[in-house]
Structure 1
């Protein structure tokens, strides 16, 4: 895609720099970054115009391209960093709204996961049931362990949707950085759950230490959004999914 509209060299240069910055920060599919929706957002930011509508359009485009909301918001942040300004809350909300309400086609789980990008409890329990039944495996030994990561600062009112979205994004990213795909994960409103195994000795504890350190750093920068320190509990599991369901339901936000 040619991101350089005729007669606007500054806009073309900004789009090229934006892409390079995003790719350098870990964009998963560099060839898929260029989308028509990036140009109106870059134009709005470059010229100090209202950016909510183009941000929402870009959020929708990223969702339809199977780009996660965390990756998409990081990309928007890269644009604003290049322009030496902070992302306005209204732009974050607009992008998230476009992403959240997009028709994501054949994968209903992607839409259901919401801003954390982590599975909901129904998906988590389905994978856990396969592990209990021996159909799926974490490829490790030892006993099953449930890790609960509670990042809630306190009650978040219905009007504070931006706070919840930011919290969900931060918690989801921290969990994905610490625990790889062999761990089933679940999420609901500020509380993440991870199903792991106690062996090899030290592996799970190292991952828990990693998520704790990541969230401690994020909480220092976002004291009104994340609990500091985050509350992390490890507990052994009984041998059936019904008991697991009762445990995570008891840990659900009120």
Structure 2
């Protein structure tokens, strides 16, 4: 097999510290992995690749070395299928690299199950840890996502049921929606960012704020006497912020509405989806 030129980034290890045998193994492994479908050649090279190559030429890698590669692949954003195919490419090079003129066909089913298990578990450990720490905020506004609002809504329904009440007795939704049809991209973005900032300023207590859609924000709030005054304050805060930016002169004032929750959690989730599509 003809080795594909290594164009890994300068910050990645390129195998220069390896001896000639390990460098040749690395080049063959890389070529086999790319031929098997590795999507981004510049992302293939990692320090752990060199560690594996050095260990193989020194007598064989232990589980810690293989595990380190799996963890590094996950941390760099490689998927599990891509990671295991890369492992299969390495195994094919080591097992069959001298046959068929150096051409190998990676086969995950032919890869020793112990290596697959160790790599997959290490990859999953990192991937699940990253998932557990995933932000639940919408990137434009910085507000929690609709998914998080649904989680909070479920808690409200459970709490009301435990108290022998209904969620509609205790909470309601306040929505802020803009008519941004036909607006240029900057005014659309700016209007939502400013409205989200105003929302956080007014509802700075236990209420749950969220971005429901491209032009809709919402608050899950306690049904009490203060909510009407907060709605008035919110409109004032949004208006002041928008008037301070001449580029938003053509953006109409948002519609601020009170929305009653439905009798069941499932019905209220469907309501959120409809509101988010406005």
TM normalised by structure 1 equals 0.48
The two structures have a TM-score, normalised by structure 2, of 0.45
Hey, which of these two has a bigger chunk of helix by percent? Answer: 2
- Higher-Rg member (1/2): 2
